[in-house]
Amino acid sequence: MMRILSGVQPTGSFHLGNYLGAIKNWVKMQDQGECLFLIVDLHSLTTHPQASELKASVRSVAAAYMASGIDPEKSFIFPQSAVMQHTELAWILGCGTPLGWLNRMTQFKEKAGKQKDMANLGLYAYPVLQAADILLYQATHVPVGEDQKQHLELARDIAGAFNRNYEEEYFVLPEPVIPPESARIMSLRDGTSKMSKSDPSDYSRINLSDDDETIRLKIRKAKTDPEPIGDTVESMEARPEAINLLSIYSALSEMTLKDTIEKYKGASFSTLKSDLAELTISVISPIRSRMIQLLENPEKIDQVLARGGAHARKLAETHMTHVYELIGIEKV
């Protein structure tokens, strides 16, 4: 059976990059197999979120999932912390993960920067917990963006090492599912940086909670360059801010990037921005409205999370029982 798993951190504002780079593709996968969509609140602890905000953020992400088209009758939505076997398995897998593998992780280098000696252990060990998230459920397919592909490759390596160490092909080696276009939506202020919740400038992203006029303003102020739109993908590749807006239009309209460029070749960016703003509003507005409705009924969200957590715990308990048998620990 195909089992699909992915997740998003409950920190910051849920934005267009989350929707186009992840959720939109998850929605399409719901009829392909059993889907588990996590809200990875344990991962978010690496950024020290305020305790008072974390619970609300978990509900907000759950609302964003459902408002974007994740059907809780088809898929299971739950917070990572509802299943403590994530941390149990992370320790077991960490004991078989060489430091050299973790030292190669580019995301740690990017996030820790020049102060890596002051970075917390959670940020460094993040990929091992991520591997546990996936392997705990024997997930066969993991939709990820390009920036997470290295972590998924590590999860496969960790699974293989465990299987060899205990001489049983127990863990499934998960396959990445990377959308061919718009896997990474970039900042509206810097086309070389991913659209991010942590960017200090709110003008760098379109939040799913933004009203129509805010969306128009942000897209109007989005950084471009003075040249008109070129006529080929190749002619635009050296223009990161320009190709980012074209890529966003492509993803929202479900056109290929080539067709979008053909549509707008020779045009000014004011024309593209005007069309992009209205297209973005047509997609975001119903999601925003649905999110507001859901957040007005937190008990319903909690019921969805409880259902997902109960199902996930059953799977986790079954798999962890066998893991403990393999490693020689008897649970009493």
Q: Catalytic site residue 265?
A: no
Question: Both tokens of residue 110?
Answer: 């990017």
Amino acid at 129: L
The label of the residue with tokens 């048998």 reads 325
Is 197 catalytic? The answer is yes
- For the beta sheet containing 75-79, the strands, ordered from the edge strand earlier in sequence to the opposite edge, are 75-79, 34-39, 3-8, 141-143, 175-177
**Token couple for 174:** 């998960």
Residue indicated by tokens 């004011």: 270
Q: Which amino acid is at 121?
A: L
Which of 245, 158, 253, 150 minimizes the C-alpha distance to 206? 245
Listed residue (229, 218, 221, 240) closest to 284, CA to CA: 218
Cβ neighbours of 76 (radius 10 Å): 22
Element of type H or E holding 280:
helix 269-295
- 124 phi/psi in degrees, rounded to 5: -70, -45
| Encoded amino acid at 183, one letter | A
Catalytic residue among 24, 74, 116, 197: 197
Catalytic residue among 55, 149, 194, 265: 194
Phi, psi torsion values for 8, nearest 5 degrees: -135, 145
Is residue 149 annotated as part of the catalytic site, yes or no? no
User: Which residue in the list 111, 149, 263, 265 is annotated as catalytic?
Assistant: 111
- Catalytically active residues are 111, 194, 197
